[in-house]
Structure 1
Amino acid sequence: MRWLSVNFLLSALYMMSANLDSAVNGSVPEEHAKVLRDILSPAAKVYYPNSTEFNTLSARWSTLAEPNVNVVAVPSTEDDVAKIVQFAKKANLPILAFNGAHAAITTLGRMQGGIEIYMGQLSSVAIAQDDKTITVGGGTSSKAVTDALWNAGKQTVTGTCECVSVLGPALGGGHGWLQGHYGLVADQFVSMNVVLADGTLQTIDENSDLWWAMKGAGQNFGIVTSLTSKIYDIEQYDWAIETLIFDGDKVEAVYQAANDHLSPVPVNLINWSYWLNIPGADPDKPVVLFYIIQEGATTVNPAYTKPFHDIGPISIEAESGDYRDLARWTQVALDSTPCQKTGLANPRFPAYLKEYNIPAQKLAYDAFAAEVSGDSPFSTSIFMFEAYPVQGVQAIDSDSAAFAFRSDNILTAPLITYTPSSNELDQQAAELGNKLRNIVHKGSGSEELHAYVNYAFGDESPQNWYGYEQWRQDRLKALKKKYDPEGRFSFFAPVE
């Protein structure tokens, strides 16, 4: 009887074709949202525009090229997700899963009218009895996983920002603090439950042909409702950081020292840096904020820090703590500014590097400083440089996953932050971001632009996101044709 009830409701909605046309181009009639609510579990929720809940749950971290949704559905069970996808398929409505904070790719703006599936209620953490794996709900945050594992003496690779979900970065590969030991977030996958484009909920693992694609291009193939991943004993409880601030005139010296002394990054070390305006340090131009983070220490080894001390930083600050402090130290904790949704546009323009090209760093800094200093509308922008240890990433066969850029060492990305006000300003931001990216990419000497898909702007190609090898592109397209021939999951960095 339940099956008959669900299908009757789906069929009834499908028959309302005139109203469905308006749903795609305008608002979904509220009575149809009620139909959707009736087929879901008791704890599921459906919100309609102009409600506080709708506005909160549909808000984006970046307001540039936002998806336009008419209904927010909040599943409380994995089966709810399948029913929402079935409902949308029958009604010919677009769907988009929302999960966390930081997706800013402009291809999401192609979602015009339809159903947002907000994954927040699917948050759970369960450690297996053998202490070798963890199973998390599809809406679980990285912080929730880190805290639960830490309390059990365990750890795993998650994204660095506390406000992102585990699955968000993982499906694009996923960089993390512990990748030097264990590989990317996607390299930890053991199995997953995923709702496919046909609305079926399936469990897949390494025996599925789809497994390869989910590890790097997963947003194109379904909605992951739960994930089982590898976990590990905590080996080192102590962590230390040294934060150095340099005048912009020291850019060449700083990155030459990084090449000479932190390349490749040792397995127990992480090096991040930001270019940004800090008026208290330099009122006229951006500074270089430089982090050296060491695992298994209460003070960062002077062998790593002395070359940078010798350059002459404006300030040096040392702290010690444990793994749970890393996000706060690097300003990506839940209460940090980059984790807030404040109506800003936040496009990024990523490019991977093997090492720093010092003349290119200088050119990029000068171009950045010229555009973000003073009363520029882009004055709160930053240029990010993330150098993680890569031993664990590069120990894994590159052909084993859709993530294609294991041989790269440094992730760079200008983040052009501004208050959107016009198409002209949007265009200026895009031109600036691409100009900065092109400078560092040209300095790499590579003809191929390798762009981390989770940071992508949206004007890149599938080759930039998923690799230039023809076999990779062919394999992704073949899997897309098999599992999502109608392109239901094609709003985030589509494979074709």
Structure 2
Amino acid sequence: MRWLSIRALIASSLAMSATGVGVSAAPEQHAKALEDVLSPGAKVYYPNSTEFTTLTTRWSALAEPKVNVAVVPAVEDDVVKTIRYANKAKLPVLAFNGAHAAITTLARMQGGIEIYMGQLSSVTIAEDQKTVTVGGGTLTKAVTDALWNAGKQTVTGTCECVSVLGPALGGGHGWLQGHYGLAADQFVSMNVVLADGTLHKIDASSDLWWAMKGAGQNFGIVTSVTSKIYDIEQYDWAIETLIFSGDQVEAIYQAANDHLSTVPVNIINWSYWLNIPGIDPDKPVILFYIIQEGAKSVDPAITKPFHDLNPISIDAESGDYRDLARWTQIALESAPCQKSGLANPRFPVYVKRYNVPAQKLAYAAFAAEVSGDSPFSSSIFMFEAYPVQGVQAVDSNSAAYAFRGDSILTAPLITYTPAGDELDQQAAQLGNKLRDIVHQGTGNEELHVYVNYAFGNESPQNWYGNEQWRQHRLKALKKKYDPKGRFSFFAPVA
């Protein structure tokens, strides 16, 4: 089967994830009051307008926050003034930025102000070519493209439709993390609006710096960040996409343990379980990516153990770093980057290596619930194995991100069309069941969760580490910088 037709089948399957106005005032009154204090370039919308609907529509239509007024700041000071207004009017605020945040704790924001960061989009490379300053609303693709054109690169999240800061404030896994560490590890300084409506530039000299690198959504709204950048050393990238039957699940992940657990810094392995009826009409297939930096084709010594398993298809492509998102179905135009009115909860768990019997059990449970005419037939199970050398070279105590010792990020993504509480509960039950199978396979009592993929039923210990000193430090910083809990909707620390 030609790769173009495979690509179309995959895409089709994925498409199937200040003033005297008081709190009781109508949204239009708040909007008018905000318009009077914000800059001329700022925009303010309230319900019953097309713009409001567009700005408040989320990637996941599950447990959505309720918004009464949407503010689109044009300059940093607009964020300052919006926070101050919200404080005076006793309204909650929540920053919106790109796609893919789906944690159910966001639903705790009821009847407040959305700050949509889209106009704060900019990419400025320093004269010394060692750092880049990125506006708080800048999407990953804009940064990747601008840096690439200047012969530079840095660690960002992998999806083109997410902002740079969204993933980075929760740690931020990325294609280049094997070389340089997490996205948060690249931070040099940032401008952040705190809960009291004051704007501060902070860096490693601030006690807040530690918290912003892993739990940053709890402490303010970042209006810009300056991060380290690096010369591009390898312009060539290659990928092999192998498709296997689900019957081969044990052999595939045993081979991954045997041959991909200690690979060089330039090898990345992802896999998806998903329905592609044109390939297997009865059960999910396993889509297995092997990606290599610095090559025009993936090294046959790396791919041979998987070729020997006789996959349904093998397709190879070559290009550069900018092709990675398209190859892995997470480009701006890809189905998973669209806001289609679907619910998209995820149930992540970190593991150090694959437990092969657990993989078999998880696949059987997944296939039983998503095959055929299931309402969850568009779901996928994700396994992301990035190089960890750069991540683990950073002192684990240096940031709020707590899970540098883990190697593989797994997460079922349960996608469905919302149809009431009963279906939501069924989805949650399935996602938690699948996560529990994988977690039990680790043999660890502690559940380690990537906060950016979190469902919302996890604990702060699961998101930010079980060590008491971590929890105490986060709570102390929260008390100092946000004593009223103004920023407590995204995976709150307490």
For 1:269 and 1:47, locate their aligned partners in 2 and report how far apart those are by CA, in whole Å: 46
SS of the residue aligned with 1:447? coil
2:30–2:69 contact (8 Å) kept in structure 1: no
Matched residue type, 1:457: F
Report deviation, 1:11. Answer: 4.1
Match of 1:234 among 232, 235, 239: 232
Aligned residue number for residue 20 of structure 2: 12
For 1:42 and 1:55, locate their aligned partners in 2 and report how far apart those are by CA, in whole Å: 22
Aligned residue number for residue 11 of structure 2: none
Matched residue type, 1:39: V
Report deviation, 1:48. Answer: 1.1
Matches within 5 A, 1:49-448: 49-448=47-446
Report deviation, 1:31. Answer: 2.5
Q: Describe the superposition over 1:242-298 as per-residue Cα deviations: whole angstroms up to 9, x where unpaired.
A: 000000000000000000000034200100000000011111000000000000000
Matched residue type, 1:310: D
For 1:50 and 1:317, locate their aligned partners in 2 and report how far apart those are by CA, in whole Å: 48
1:264–1:409 contact (8 Å) kept in structure 2: no
Shift of the 265–387 alpha-carbon distance from structure 1 to 2, 3 Å rule, reads farther
Report deviation, 1:32. Answer: 2.5
For 1:104 and 1:202, locate their aligned partners in 2 and report how far apart those are by CA, in whole Å: 28
For 1:237 and 1:314, locate their aligned partners in 2 and report how far apart those are by CA, in whole Å: 30
SS of the residue aligned with 1:245? strand
SS of the residue aligned with 1:159? coil
Shifted more, 93-102 versus 262-271: the winner is 262-271
SS of the residue aligned with 1:449? coil
1:384–1:414 contact (8 Å) kept in structure 2: yes
Matched residue type, 2:368: A
Q: Describe the superposition over 1:39-79 as per-residue Cα deviations: whole angstroms up to 9, x where unpaired.
A: 00000000010101000000000000000000000000001
Matches within 5 A, 1:17-32: 20-21=23-24, 28-32=26-30
For 2:164 and 2:267, locate their aligned partners in 1 and report how far apart those are by CA, in whole Å: 22
For 1:388 and 1:306, locate their aligned partners in 2 and report how far apart those are by CA, in whole Å: 20
SS of the residue aligned with 1:367? helix
2:37–2:81 contact (8 Å) kept in structure 1: yes
Shift of the 197–358 alpha-carbon distance from structure 1 to 2, 3 Å rule, reads same
1:265–1:388 contact (8 Å) kept in structure 2: no
1:122–1:138 contact (8 Å) kept in structure 2: yes
Matched residue type, 1:380: S
Matched residue type, 2:133: T
Matched residue type, 2:464: Y
TM-score by length of 1: 0.96
TM-score by length of 2: 0.96
2:63–2:107 contact (8 Å) kept in structure 1: yes
For 1:364 and 1:31, locate their aligned partners in 2 and report how far apart those are by CA, in whole Å: 52
Q: Describe the superposition over 1:425-465 as per-residue Cα deviations: whole angstroms up to 9, x where unpaired.
A: 00000000000000000001111100000000000000000
2:27–2:68 contact (8 Å) kept in structure 1: no
Unaligned runs of 5+ residues in structure 1 are 1-9
For 1:338 and 1:284, locate their aligned partners in 2 and report how far apart those are by CA, in whole Å: 23
Matches within 5 A, 1:448-467: 448-467=446-465
For 2:281 and 2:421, locate their aligned partners in 1 and report how far apart those are by CA, in whole Å: 30
The 4+ residue runs of structure 1 with deviation greater than 6 A are none
Report deviation, 1:114. Answer: 0.7
SS of the residue aligned with 1:229? strand
SS of the residue aligned with 1:224? strand
For 1:105 and 1:337, locate their aligned partners in 2 and report how far apart those are by CA, in whole Å: 20
SS of the residue aligned with 1:317? strand
For 1:168 and 1:254, locate their aligned partners in 2 and report how far apart those are by CA, in whole Å: 33
1:173–1:184 contact (8 Å) kept in structure 2: yes
Report deviation, 1:29. Answer: 3.5
Shift of the 265–112 alpha-carbon distance from structure 1 to 2, 3 Å rule, reads farther
1:240–1:299 contact (8 Å) kept in structure 2: yes
Q: Describe the superposition over 1:146-184 as per-residue Cα deviations: whole angstroms up to 9, x where unpaired.
A: 000000000000000000000000000000000000000
1:38 matched to 2:46? no
Matched residue type, 1:325: D
Matched residue type, 1:433: G
1:75–1:119 contact (8 Å) kept in structure 2: yes
SS of the residue aligned with 1:42? coil
For 1:387 and 1:50, locate their aligned partners in 2 and report how far apart those are by CA, in whole Å: 44
Q: Describe the superposition over 1:9-40 as per-residue Cα deviations: whole angstroms up to 9, x where unpaired.
A: x2422xx4xxx23x5xxxx3413311111100
Q: What is the RMSD of the two structures over their aligned residues, measured on CA atoms?
A: 0.6
For 2:28 and 2:159, locate their aligned partners in 1 and report how far apart those are by CA, in whole Å: 36
For 2:31 and 2:247, locate their aligned partners in 1 and report how far apart those are by CA, in whole Å: 58
SS of the residue aligned with 2:110? coil
For 1:301 and 1:70, locate their aligned partners in 2 and report how far apart those are by CA, in whole Å: 54
